Amino acid sequence: MRPPFTIKYIISSTVYSEFKNRTKIDFLVKYSIEEYEVSMMIISEKKVEVRYAETDAMGVVYHANYLVWFEIGRTALIKELGFNYADMEAQGVISPVIDLNVSYKKSLRYGQSPTIKTKIKSLSPLKVIYDYEILNEESEICCIGSSTHVLVAKDTFRPIKFKKSFPDWYEAYEKAME
């Protein structure tokens, strides 16, 4: 008998890449998960090393560098889903940031190797919101944030519908949010 609820599993992109090449049953058996309704949210993880040039006079990572790391995380997520932002640009479409939120929790210093966790928070035909967490080696949250992006024509800056222009990409994003 099936329970009257959905079990959600948040898994790493490594496990997801294994899942997408198997049937749901194979995956459930391998990971000892009973066959309920399983949803998966993809969270990309990318490790970076704090370079000396990224720190200020106090030896702490300069605040704007976290935004660069957000981009590194977002790019890693896109690649893990099988896409490349450069391909989008080659088609004359860019994806500017229209909103950005950052909250600093704990300092990072030169020589540390933080992990950037990135996931898709929400998606609509016109925009996508990414969520980020940057953690230190002890898995303590050092920074959290989100960025909102739209698609526009590179030459006119007119909005483009994500779902209509890049349906495969949009579908992969929908699945990554489940």
Domains with residue ranges and CATH for the chain: 43-177 (3.10.129.10)
How many Å apart are CA 94 and CA 126, to the nearest integer? Answer: 13
Q: Residue 178: its pLDDT value, please? A: 81
Q: Write the pLDDT tens digit of every residue in 127-166.
A: 999 999 999 999 999 999 999 999 999 999 999 999 999 9
Q: Write the pLDDT tens digit of every residue in 34-62.
A: 444 445 689 999 999 999 999 999 999 99
> At which residue do the structure tokens 């896409």 appear?
83
Read off the tokens for 100.
């950005």
Read off the tokens for 41.
């949210």
Give the single-character DSSP code of 125: S
How many Å apart are CA 126 and CA 66, to the nearest integer? Answer: 26
pTM, two decimal places: 0.78
Q: Which residues are known catalytic residues?
A: 56
How many Å apart are CA 115 and CA 48, to the nearest integer? Answer: 6
Average pLDDT of the chain is: 85
Give the single-character DSSP code of 110: T
